[in-house]
Structure 1
Amino acid sequence: MSTFFTTREAAKFLNCSEQHLYNIRNRRKAALIQGDHYLARKIAPEAIKIGGKLLFEESTLEAWLRKYGEVA
């Protein structure tokens, strides 16, 4: 079972702002829109691990979108 960090805890641990972490998530979404799935996986906050723990708790919606893609 994985232990998840919240955005606030991760920002405090990484000594950065919560907004910086949200910007990473937004860059991932922009990469997906442009069709660059490799870059999207590389910068996905869910893929960033600190000490073997995932940085963000992944929502069910995000997991579904990553698996099936966004539906227009």
Structure 2
Amino acid sequence: MEFQEEFQDQLMFGTDSCARSDVNRAHPNVALWRNLTENCMLPETALEKIGHSSAERLLNLQGGGFYPAV
């Protein structure tokens, strides 16, 4: 978890899959995210950044949504 803590401002977590064959399968990355959050494996601030605020900043999104900031 040291890597995630050190680079929390540069990491984003996603659950998208490019493989059409994955459409009906459970994704291991969802299980990983649940494990990280439910077992408090990272500080809350790191989870927040990796979970959404890094993406909001890097993609110029408004907090809490998917719309470009004005």
TM above 0.5: no
**For the pair shown, which has the larger CA radius of gyration, 1 or 2?**
2
TM-score computed with the length of structure 1 as normaliser: 0.32
